[in-house]
Structure 1
């Protein structure tokens, strides 16, 4: 069955009737967010719909039915099931006024029609077949059936040809035909074939003079409506090569993001775009020098701390040392190489941050003491660790509990001293 959205992709409003309405829930992630929400509402089926159900690599449309938000549309056989987030059910036979999120629809049409054009050009120029594609929220890609490296020059060739055709304004039309007849189109492509549950006529999307493609998605009516295409980069995968791209409004949005980032870099680096590379390389060189100097300073501090204990008589029963300069385990190793034996050591290095602070912990001493305090400390500090004989080490996530660990050691060794 063809839906109204497939007959006229530019319809923004449509009136139909409710066929069925069933209570339902939906795990839905709002655009621009990462956490899903559990929504309550109803699965609503209408006589027809301008809201595209997910399919053919294209996400579903969003919109409203009688003012209530439609969060998802899925095809089930010959029906489009709309999940509507609302509290009151719709009545079968009631009039349903559908409105579409036009910004989302236009974006999807631009990306999908752009994908058809890019696919056709890679096929015609290099004989690379498109095996799949993904319409992402920011960037889309096609997967090409090749393991040959696609050079920047090849990407430029396809991009230039695509934008030349956009300027020519080739017409995009949709033809309806029987599935058997559709396969007779010499330039029609459907690499994965028709869905097993397909019923009725087949839509063939034709870009004038370029290609025909069996497709269920929504499309522009003229490729001039794509505005422009930008191929971003190509990456090799196990199954082929993915070519990432943006079309239309996304090109303008991407340009805006890049320009804003450039302005921020100008301020941070105190230099214009032509100087960015040199300034970053200079920063990297200075950072390496500073890191080496800092590591040497930490090593000297570790040796100095160990020498302080060496000059102390009698030796303490236990010794705690905690640094928040940086997570640098070599500080602990240097300290232990220079520190006296027969002392219980509790050593940590952690991040100097305003949050709880992650870090590294090391215990060294009598085997029984290490076995007693190692697991206990790592549990308090919310980390993981292990040990053997008189050594225990681990990584922790909550440095705020270090004073509690110190207090446990103080009580343990003071009690032993009194008992002795």
Structure 2
């Protein structure tokens, strides 16, 4: 049996049978609870006049941070609309009889919006909306020069949702239900999901027991978009929590422990899905516009998916359009960077990578030949040798270790010190190697001399005759002089012993 609810909300294009009640709504309090808020009864309602139930100073000075990166690598902003956290003024917790501002829940970030107070003609920013038990609590920012909200109880206020944000997040949430339903037909249940908050264009994801191949991704995307084009109807069944919440459906996760005496909501997609959900859902699939699945990182020709739990990233609705625009600009910039048409970009990048690999192979061969040559030349210095390098191409431990290894093949009872310091560079490299314990003795002397009064400047160690370290700070002539002094002392000691 279904019940009708008094039409206490302004009319929108949401169908009259979008909300289907399976309990007597007269049992609910006048103050609407989470699960039965105006934003959940009519997701297309943008504004609402209501009364304030309570208003008090918030226990926090800033709204909780929203999920989702606001910057790309390199620091460039993804969106000019990415807002900075404002901490001036005071933050107030405001509860109203009803609200069009959705509190965070079910994986969907909260709505933002404005609160207008007709009596004082104040328009204030709603920075977040939190669920506290059954209540929706608005976090409202009052600037320093505005009237505080300590006498707001009982007054009428106008709430307006940030519609751009709502559209974005609602479309993604409904698209996630659709995607999970299609994946479920492939015996791929959704283990979890996540959505970065608007205005980020970061892609949401569903976590699956295994990855998909490129072919499977294309197939799932095609099925989802076909259902969107059909504009399948979406509706919400609502049950009283104490009556058991109706048929469970595709997925059912634990209800928060602090949510007691409320309602259970099931989102239905015509002929496709039924699943418990507390978020705002589009009244039909056309609001999702489209869905795009991000291909996996495996080769496009592979028919064998990874068999470990994997995140499948996707985008939909207005965010998909912004994602497409950003991807198109990135494609153009990448094409310009290597002077090629966009259509030829992949082929050119593949060729560049092929040449890079060939160059790396050749460079490795040349380095190997060079380190052998340098090591053999070092052998002419006798039982105590020092190789000093200052070239970027050989400024790494692998090359220096190759040199010291070649030296010891020629002079088995010798000890060699190999250093590399770039002109103007801030980090020097040191390798000391021998077949016996002499390498440790030499390394300890070098470390002490190079550190001087700057303890901790030399970072490294070793064992079994090979010791390596990085020397922080400018090397310069002083570094060479320190090494030369230690080498000279060793040679003098060797001559004295002979």
Fold shared by both chains (TM-score > 0.5) = yes
- Residue number among 205, 208, 213 corresponding to 1:141 in the alignment: 205
Is 1:24 paired with 2:55? no
- Residue number among 71, 94, 102 corresponding to 1:52 in the alignment: 102
Q: What is the CA-CA distance between 1:389 and the residue it aligns to? A: 7.1
Question: C-alpha deviations, 1:206-243, integer Å up to 9, x for none?
Answer: 333433332110122221111111222467575x4543
Are the aligned partners of 1:325 and 1:349 in contact in 2 as well (CA < 8 Å)? no
The 1:31–1:162 alpha-carbon spacing in structure 2 relative to 1, beyond 3 Å, is closer
What CA distance in whole angstroms lies between the structure 2 residues aligned with 1:281 and 1:381?
Answer: 45
Q: What is the CA-CA distance between 1:111 and the residue it aligns to? A: 0.5
Q: What is the CA-CA distance between 1:180 and the residue it aligns to? A: 5.8
Is 1:111 paired with 2:164? no
What CA distance in whole angstroms lies between the structure 2 residues aligned with 1:38 and 1:290?
Answer: 51
What CA distance in whole angstroms lies between the structure 2 residues aligned with 1:61 and 1:414?
Answer: 73
What CA distance in whole angstroms lies between the structure 2 residues aligned with 1:7 and 1:218?
Answer: 9
What CA distance in whole angstroms lies between the structure 2 residues aligned with 1:217 and 1:376?
Answer: 66
Give the match for residue 324 of structure 1: 392
Give the match for residue 10 of structure 1: 44
What is the CA RMSD across the aligned residues, in angstroms?
4.1
Q: What is the CA-CA distance between 1:121 and the residue it aligns to? A: 2.7
Which structure 2 residues correspond to residues 400-411 of structure 1 after superposition, within 5 A? 400-401=474-475, 403-409=477-483
Are the aligned partners of 2:460 and 2:470 in contact in 1 as well (CA < 8 Å)? yes
The 1:389–1:408 alpha-carbon spacing in structure 2 relative to 1, beyond 3 Å, is farther
Give the match for residue 370 of structure 1: 443
TM-score, length basis structure 1: 0.78
The 1:183–1:78 alpha-carbon spacing in structure 2 relative to 1, beyond 3 Å, is closer
Which stretch of structure 1 is more off in the superposition, 38-47 or 204-213? 38-47
- Residue number among 461, 465, 469 corresponding to 1:386 in the alignment: 461
Which stretch of structure 1 is more off in the superposition, 107-116 or 7-16? 7-16
The 1:303–1:86 alpha-carbon spacing in structure 2 relative to 1, beyond 3 Å, is farther
Q: What is the CA-CA distance between 1:59 and the residue it aligns to? A: 1.4
The 1:206–1:374 alpha-carbon spacing in structure 2 relative to 1, beyond 3 Å, is same
- Residue number among 334, 355, 362 corresponding to 1:286 in the alignment: 355
Question: C-alpha deviations, 1:15-53, integer Å up to 9, x for none?
Answer: 442433234234636864479979574351322433222
Give the match for residue 90 of structure 1: 149
Give the match for residue 14 of structure 2: none
Give the match for residue 42 of structure 1: 91
Q: What is the CA-CA distance between 1:139 and the residue it aligns to? A: 1.3
- Residue number among 413, 416, 419 corresponding to 1:347 in the alignment: 419
What CA distance in whole angstroms lies between the structure 1 residues aligned with 2:55 and 2:229?
Answer: 44
The 1:62–1:31 alpha-carbon spacing in structure 2 relative to 1, beyond 3 Å, is farther
SS of 2:100's partner is coil
Q: What is the CA-CA distance between 1:244 and the residue it aligns to? A: 2.4
Give the match for residue 325 of structure 2: 256
SS of 1:283's partner is helix
Is 1:266 paired with 2:327? no
- Residue number among 77, 81, 86 corresponding to 2:137 in the alignment: 81
Give the match for residue 430 of structure 2: 361
Question: C-alpha deviations, 1:168-202, integer Å up to 9, x for none?
Answer: 223323343323656444x7444214333333233
Structure with the greater relative contact order (CA < 8 A, sep ≥ 6): 1 or 2?
Answer: 2
Structure 1 unaligned segments of length 5 or more: list them. none
Give the match for residue 224 of structure 1: 286
Are the aligned partners of 2:92 and 2:149 in contact in 1 as well (CA < 8 Å)? no
Is 1:63 paired with 2:138? no
What CA distance in whole angstroms lies between the structure 2 residues aligned with 1:224 and 1:252?
Answer: 14
SS of 2:281's partner is coil
Are the aligned partners of 2:233 and 2:269 in contact in 1 as well (CA < 8 Å)? yes
Q: What is the CA-CA distance between 1:167 and the residue it aligns to? A: 1.9
Question: C-alpha deviations, 1:44-88, integer Å up to 9, x for none?
Answer: 132243322211111122334454444433211122234445565
Give the match for residue 255 of structure 2: 194
What CA distance in whole angstroms lies between the structure 2 residues aligned with 1:349 and 1:288?
Answer: 27
TM-score, length basis structure 2: 0.67
Is 1:72 paired with 2:114? no
What CA distance in whole angstroms lies between the structure 2 residues aligned with 1:273 and 1:77?
Answer: 53
What CA distance in whole angstroms lies between the structure 1 residues aligned with 2:216 and 2:490?
Answer: 76
Are the aligned partners of 2:204 and 2:314 in contact in 1 as well (CA < 8 Å)? yes
Question: C-alpha deviations, 1:76-132, integer Å up to 9, x for none?
Answer: 112223444556553142655544332221111001011112222333x33543342
Q: Larger strand proportion, structure 1 or 2? A: 1
Structure 2 unaligned segments of length 5 or more: list them. 1-32, 76-83, 116-121, 297-304
